[in-house]
Amino acid sequence: MVVMPILAPSILSADFARLGSHAQEAIDAGAEWLHIDVMDGHFVPNISIGPLVVRALRPLADRTGVVLDVHLMIHNPEKYIDRFAESGSDIITVHVETCHDLSATLERIRSAGAKPGVTLNPDTPLHTIENVLGQVDLVLIMSVNPGFGGQGYIPTSTRKIRQLRALLDETDSHAHLEVDGGIKPDNILEVVEAGADVIVAGSAVFGGADPVSTNVEALKSAWSVTA
């Protein structure tokens, strides 16, 4: 039986006119985390949200127990760590490509009271994070080029996920292995079997004509099969 991973719907695909209620629908349907993508228009070609949205979601998180999983797709993330931590982020993940001193940035996240994570873009090799695996609670593999929701899954990501799972196991790391980008019911089992234990899904949860509960059930049913 495949181990049940954590589902982290990306609010980037939610209806911001009713963000609280849309997020609540995902939680009621079985989502354990909310994934919050922060984009600066420089590191990625889009601008999204900031600490105020995290702060607005904090009461929902406190009421339901959902984890606020904040992904900083921004240059110079160290300048904003304290603000995001103070706003209520449970996890703050930074990109290896954006940090002048990755180890120091991760330590700053933990000192600010959040769990540190590190992210790899599709073309970034695993060896760039090997020396910080002992510092992180999460490693995020991007399976699309970051910046926009609704993209297709890059097939070579599966091999990278498998390699990272082996590396985490070899080093006795307890860090979560999270995957974000293009995950749908027709490929989610492949990602889980490769070793992911946290699945980010945006349009697959909040998009389409079906209710959020139906979309979440489709994802969970797709990974809950006997191997």
The set of catalytic residues is 37, 180
Rg of the chain over all Cα atoms, to the nearest angstrom: 16
In sequence order, the 6+-apart residues with CB closer than 8 A to the CB of 177 are 138, 139, 141, 161, 164, 165, 168, 195, 196, 197, 198
Query: How far does Cα 211 stand from its chain's mean position?
Result: 22
In sequence order, the 6+-apart residues with CB closer than 8 A to the CB of 178 are 8, 69, 93, 117, 138, 139, 140, 141, 196, 197, 198, 199, 200
Q: How far apart are CA 130 and CA 179, in angstroms?
A: 18
